Structure 1
Amino acid sequence: MEKLFEIAARLDEMQTNLSKLSWVQYTSGYDFGIEKAYKEINDFLEDKNNYELVSEYMKRDLDPVNRRRVEIFYNTIRSYHLSDELNELNEKIQKKTNELSMILNTFRFKLDGKEVSSVELTQILSNEDNRELRKKAYFARNQINQPLVEGGFIDLINMRKEYATLYGDKDFVEYSLKQNELSPTIFNNWENELKPYIDKLNSKRQEYARKFLNGDEMMPWDEDYIMAKIAPIQNRTVDMSNYYETLRKFFLNFGLDLDKFNITYDIFSRKNKSEWGYNFPIKDGVDSRILANVKNKYHEYKVLLHETGHGIHSFLLKPEEILLNQGVSGIIAEGIANLFGGFLYDEMFYRNFFDKSVELQLKELAEYNKLNYLRFIGSIFFDHELYRNEINSLQDIENLYFKVFEDLFGDKPFDDAPPFAYRIHYTTHPIYMHNYFMGDVTCEMIRKVFCKKYGVNSVTEKPKEFGDFLINEVINPSGLYKYEELFQRISGEEFSLKWYLE
């Protein structure tokens, strides 16, 4: 296996360099050679000697762990040796994706002719009593739709479709799921599982609309506002200058010491910096970096908890296990991050700022958020439908968006264009958003399995034991198994939305 480990280490060095360049682009807006870094990786993966070496290992009689290592590398390199046409198309896709990510990262919205950040728009949506102003702020986000399409977003979608067809898969959705070692049929029953909960969801939204809006209908520009009404404490101003110590104290509850990890934080907004939140696992167990944008509101700690969960996860992976680390499902990564993000509503975290008088409002908000998060499935399915329908114009995309949300939730189309392009995943990480929701399903499963095993009602009753459980039962074996196998190994059952819904 020594030769295989050597070429895996060389590839890891190149990917580490690409991650560093991406960090610079996302934090400053400068591109210091991302396309060149992609080319270097592509050339390495297209090298026939490397492919023949990996293929030779695939024929060997190996123990289960080494078999898994080889399988992961083979799945990475195989597509680069099917045809020159595929390789050329892959480079075009990477180039166009990088061009569009530059547009997204440097674009700034305007409201009443004044440049505003995403954080400022969120604050308006959350705090503004004037519903028309909230609506205006919501639709400001659609300003990026046209520039992205003019930059070639539809061309990118069509290139991905073409790539999947040339690869031999039914569509780009099937291709992506297979590449992430998921069953192509994993979403087939979601709509049926979801249906019994739609009436409950819509009824709850109507109840809050009557309570806080004096009307019967909650619109997207009302959602943050209503959440702020349910739990006003989430918009309380807090001093985030000491954010690191707050996070460090919290994670120590689980036996996780941030001081032992090399995690870099960049959390305040500035020009040309991406307005989203990210973790860049530059090199597992060595270097992890977190990008966020905060303005001293309590709810902004959620993104810091989430991204720090990613950072800790990357440091709990063994740096020498380059191949097994590549086999860790994005669902597991997002599940762990979401798990820690959810502690925003738990006393274990909020006691850093408030007393127990806020408990009821945060509990109500957590319960509503869990139910309302079902609407995120609309974004997941919209992502899928982009690759299952003919797209020739921005109007086609908007019509498709409305159709997905109408079919799932009974939504009526807006009078204005729906904001969609501001969500960067559609451009840079297609067929990825299911990782967040499936991560939450996984998170619920992990909590329930732990509580049953330890005879507790909450993981906070035995946080250090839960930290050990997370490491030993989830993180350590996460590269050894495909996601659905790992889920069944932990839960004893196949993946199902019931873990989240029931």
Structure 2
Amino acid sequence: MDKLESLAKELEEIQVDLMRRSWVQYTVGYDFGIDEVYEKLNSFMSDKKNFYIVCKYLDMDLNEIDKRKVEILYNAFKPYHLSKELNELNLEIQKKTNELSQVLNTFRFNIEGKEITSVEITQILSNEEDRNLRKKAYFARNQINKPLVDAGFIELINLRKEYAKAYGDNDFVEHKLKIDELSPGIFNSWKDELSKYIDILNNKRMEYAEKFIHENELMPWDQDYIGSKIAPSLNTTVDMSNYYNILMRFFLNFGIDIDKYNITYDIFSRKNKSEWGYNFPIETGKDSRILANVKNKYHEYEVLLHETGHGIHSFLLKPEERILNAGVSGIISEGIANLFGGFIYEEIFYKNFFGSEVKDEFVEMKEFDKLNYLRFVGDIFFDQELYRNNIENLDDIHEVYFKVFGELFNDKIYNEEPPFGYRIHHTTHPIYMHNYFMGDVTCEMLKKVFNKKYGTSSITEKPREFGEFLIDEVINPSGLYKYEDLFERISGEKFSFKWYLE
């Protein structure tokens, strides 16, 4: 396998260069030649000599692990050796995506002529008593829609559609699922499974609306505000300057010492810095970087826990297994991150800031969050429908948005433009958002399997054992198996909503 491993090492070196330059772009807004690295990557992947090396291994008599390595690399190289048209389209897509990333990362919203950050919008939505001001803040997010479309967002959608068609797939959604090694029909039952819970979801939301805002409907600009009423401690001002020690002590509970890892944090807002949260796994087991935007509120630890979960995952993988690491599903990656992000509601973490007085509000908030998270399925389906409908202008996008949320949740059309462009995934990571929700389903499955195995009612009763379970049962084998196979291997059953909802 020496030639294959050598090839993978060369590929990794290019990807590391790309990630370093991307880090600079997202943190300070400068592009130090990302397109050039994409061209280098495309040239390497489309090199016939490199593909020949991979193909030679297809017919060899190999053990199961080596067969999986060949499968991963073959699947990575194959798209670059189907046609010149595909390679040209791929490069065009990458360049357009990079161009639009710059638009998103440097754009700033404004309310009544005053520039405002995404963090400040979140604070208004969470704390503002005036419902009209919350509504104004919510729809401020739609200000990026038109600049994004004007810069070529619809062109990008159509390029991806064209690529999928040239590849031979029915649509871009099917194509992405194939690339991610997921069954093409994995979402087919979601709408029916979700429909069983819509009345429960809507009735509970109406109950909260009547209780906290004296309205019979909970609108998107009310959700964070009601959450702050259920759990006001989430908005407690905390000193973020000590964030690292808080995180370090927390992860030690699981036998994980982040002091041993080279994780860089950049957590405070500034001009030209992306307003989202990210982990940049620059080089597996060697260099991981976290971008966040915080303003000293307790709830902001959720993103730090989530992104640190990504960083830890990167360091728990074996760096020498660079091929198998490339086969780790995004669902597993996001699932592990979501798992740690969820500890914001658990005593094992909140004891750093609060006593037992917050227990009841956090229990209720966790239930509120879990139920409302079902609405995220709407965002997942909207992302997919952009590639299954004819999109010619901004109005077409709005129509698809309202159709999806109307059919799933019985939402009514409102007069203002729905905010969608601010969610960067539509631009940079299409057909990716299901990874978060499926990651949460995976988390619930892991908790249930662990509790049954260890006779516990909560994983926090034996956190160190859970850390070992996570490494042994999930992280170590995660590159060896496709996601659905790994899920069934751990749970004994196929992927299903039931793990999340029951």
* TM-score bucket of the superposed structures, by smaller chain: over 0.9
Q: Which residue of 1 aligns with 2:299?
A: 299
2:179 corresponding residue in structure 1: 179
Q: Give the Å deviation of 1:58.
A: 1.1
Alpha-carbon distance in structure 2 between the residues aligned to 1:195 and 1:398: 23
Q: How does 1:159-308 map to 2 (within 5 A)?
A: 159-308=159-308
SS at match of 1:267: strand
Q: Distance in 1 between matches of 2:421 and 2:58?
A: 41
Read off the aligned partner of 2:354 and give its amino acid letter.
Answer: F
Which residue does the alignment assign to 2:494?
494
**Structure 2 residue aligned with 1:111:** 111
Q: CA offset at residue 146 of structure 1?
A: 0.1
Deviations 1:307-353 (A, max 9, x none): 00000000000001010000000000000000000000000000000
- How far off its partner does 1:92 sit? 0.4
Counterpart amino acid of residue 420 in structure 2: F
**Whole-Å separation in 2 of the counterparts to 1:36 and 1:344:** 41
Give CA-to-partner distance per residue, 1:186-219, whole Å, 9 cap, x none: 0000011111111000011000000011110010
Whole-angstrom distance in 1 between the partners of 2:3 and 2:284: 21
Q: Secondary structure at the match of 1:85?
A: helix
Does residue 384 (structure 1) correspond to residue 387 (structure 2)? The answer is no
Kindly state the Cα deviation for residue 400 of structure 1 after the two structures are TM-superposed: 0.5
Q: Which residue of 1 aligns with 2:417?
A: 417
The answer to whether 1:60 aligns with 2:26 is: no
1:89 aligns with 2:89: yes
Q: What does 1:77-156 correspond to in 2, within 5 Å?
A: 77-156=77-156
Deviation at 1:142, TM superposition (A): 0.2
Letter in 2 for 1:156: L
Q: 1:460 maps to what in 2? A: 460
Distance 1:10 1:192 in 2: 46
The structural deviation recorded for 1:379 is: 0.1
Helix, strand or coil at the partner of 1:427: helix
Deviation at 1:449, TM superposition (A): 0.2
Deviation for aligned residue 1:427: 0.2
In structure 2, C-alpha distance between the alignment counterparts of 1:29 and 1:399, rounded to whole Å: 33
TM-score, structure 1 normalization: 1.00
Q: Residue by residue, what CA displacement relative to the aligned partner does 1:240-259 show, whole Å, maximum 9, x if unpaired?
A: 10000000000000000010
- What is the CA deviation profile of residues 25-78 of structure 1, one whole-angstrom value per residue up to 9, with x for unaligned ones? 000000000000000000000000001110111111110000000100000000
Q: What CA deviation, in whole Å up to 9, does each residue of 1:108-163 have, x standing for no partner? A: 00011000000000000000000000000000000000000000000000000000
Question: Once the 2 structures are TM-superposed, how far is the Cα of residue 394 of structure 1 from its aligned partner?
Answer: 0.3
**Which amino acid letter does the alignment assign opposite residue 199 of structure 1?**
D
Letter in 2 for 1:250: F
Which residue in 2 is equivalent to 1:30? 30
C-alpha distance in 2 between matches for 1:375 and 1:36: 39
Structure 1 stretches lacking a partner, 5+ long = none
Distance 2:193 2:283 in 1: 38
> Secondary structure in 1 aligned to 2:265?
strand
Correspondence for 1:436? 436
Return the alpha-carbon distance in structure 2 between the equivalents of residues 410 and 475 of structure 1: 39
Greater CA deviation, 435-444 or 58-67? 58-67
**Which residue matches 1:426?**
426
Paired AA for residue 34 in structure 1? I
For residue 471 of structure 2, what is the aligned residue in structure 1?
471
Structure 1 vs Structure 2 CA RMSD: 0.4
**Distance in structure 1 (CA, Å) of the matches to 2:487 and 2:216:** 40
Task: Tell me by how many angstroms 1:260 deviates.
Answer: 0.6
Name the aligned partner's letter for residue 371 of structure 1: L
1:303-322 alignment to 2 at 5 Å? Answer: 303-322=303-322
Specify the code of the residue in structure 2 equivalent to 1:241: S
Distance in 2 separating the partners of 1:231 and 1:165:
48
Distance of 2:383 and 2:492 partners within structure 1? 31
- DSSP 3-state at the match of 1:412: coil
Q: Please give the secondary structure, in 2, of the residue aligned with 1:220.
A: coil
Which ranges in structure 2 are unaligned for 5 or more consecutive residues? none
Amino acid in structure 2 at the alignment position of 1:181: E
SS of the aligned residue for 1:324 comes to helix
Letter aligned with residue 495 of structure 2 = F
Matched, 1:329 2:329: yes
Runs of 4+ aligned residues of structure 1 deviating over 6 Å after TM superposition are none
Aligned AA (2:467): G
> For the residues of structure 2 that align with 1:200 and 1:249, how far apart are their CA atoms?
39
Letter in 2 for 1:130: D
Equivalent-residue separation in structure 2 for 1:193 and 1:136 (angstroms): 34
| Letter matched to residue 265 of structure 2 | Y
Distance 2:448 2:29 in 1: 43
- Partners of 2:32 and 2:296 in 1: how far apart? 32
Number of the residue aligned with 1:342: 342
Equivalent-residue separation in structure 2 for 1:345 and 1:439 (angstroms):
18
* Partner-residue secondary structure (3-state), 2:154: helix
**Which amino acid counterpart does residue 491 of structure 2 have in structure 1?**
S
Measured after TM superposition, the shift of residue 432 of structure 1 is 0.2
* Number of the residue aligned with 1:482: 482
Distance 1:309 1:53 in 2: 35
Whole-angstrom distance in 2 between the partners of 1:94 and 1:264: 27
Taking the aligned partners of 1:412 and 1:324, their CA distance within structure 2 comes to 46
Distance (Å, rounded) in 2 between the aligned partners of 1:21 and 1:70: 29
Deviations 1:460-482 (A, max 9, x none): 00000000000000000000000
Structure 1 counterpart of 2:20: 20
Aligned counterparts of 1:361 and 1:144: Cα–Cα separation in 2 = 35
Once the 2 structures are TM-superposed, how far is the Cα of residue 185 of structure 1 from its aligned partner? 0.3
Instruction: State the alpha-carbon separation in 1 of the partners of residues 434 and 119 from structure 2.
Output: 24
1:414, CA displacement in angstroms?
1.2
